[in-house]
Structure 1
Amino acid sequence: MPSRDEHLAQAAKNRKLAETLAKTEFLDWAVTIYFYVAVHVIESYLAIHVYHSTDHDQRRDYINRIPQLRTVIKEYLALERVSRQARYYAQPITHEHLRIAQENLAKVEAQVAYVTTGKKKL
């Protein structure tokens, strides 16, 4: 399973792609990739504690059960929901959806940074 650093490297790579797509007409893919940034950020925390999720259900369960992650369950689920709506239901994704996804991701990243380093993400 990937290490914390490997998850964070993948999150950074995904973020670059999402930011590129956010400037195009492909907002559906931008929000989807922002969700996968959150997946890797969460997995980076889990890797430190020798947890590794094998699917979205297990990851949701970990987020729900671990107090340090539970504080961002709402934001994580919102990212997952908009990603699914874009991918499976062909819901048009607006700049407002994109903005909210970016805000939710920022909250997930800030919480994971805080609980792993004791510092707030800048």
Structure 2
Amino acid sequence: MSQDRRPVVLVVEDEPLLREMVAYEFELSGFEVIDAGSAEEALQRLSTLRVLDLLFTDIRLPGMDGWSLAHEVRAVHADAPVIYASGNTERQTLLPRSEFIQKPYRPEQIFRVAADLGVDLPAAPID
């Protein structure tokens, strides 16, 4: 990643307050945040991105789910790590460079998983 560019994260969460909280934590940590309330909205926003450093997605979304969204994102940004989040324990086979976190989660957990996936964390707190 270039030193003059902030890492870009796409945050997809249909619960507005949770989406704002996650986006805020990423912004505080130096990320450029693109957020969406559905997979379809995320794919529209994705079409304008030249680079994507991380996809953070809820699994249960209205319409297309997070599993399917991750496959669509990887078709365009093959190397983008993925963090799946859900309140349920249902899991499918994870894509390479992806991980699952259980809701509720703390921001530090998100950043620890992102670091484990090889994401450059400009100023993220990891406990």
Superposed pair shares fold, TM > 0.5: no
Compare the two structures and name the one with the higher helix fraction: 1
The alignment's TM-score, normalised by the length of structure 2, stands at 0.31
Compare the two structures and name the one with the higher strand fraction: 2
The alignment's TM-score, normalised by the length of structure 1, stands at 0.32
Q: Considering only CA atoms, is the larger Rg found in Structure 1 or Structure 2? A: 1
Higher relative contact order (CA 8 A, sep 6+): 1
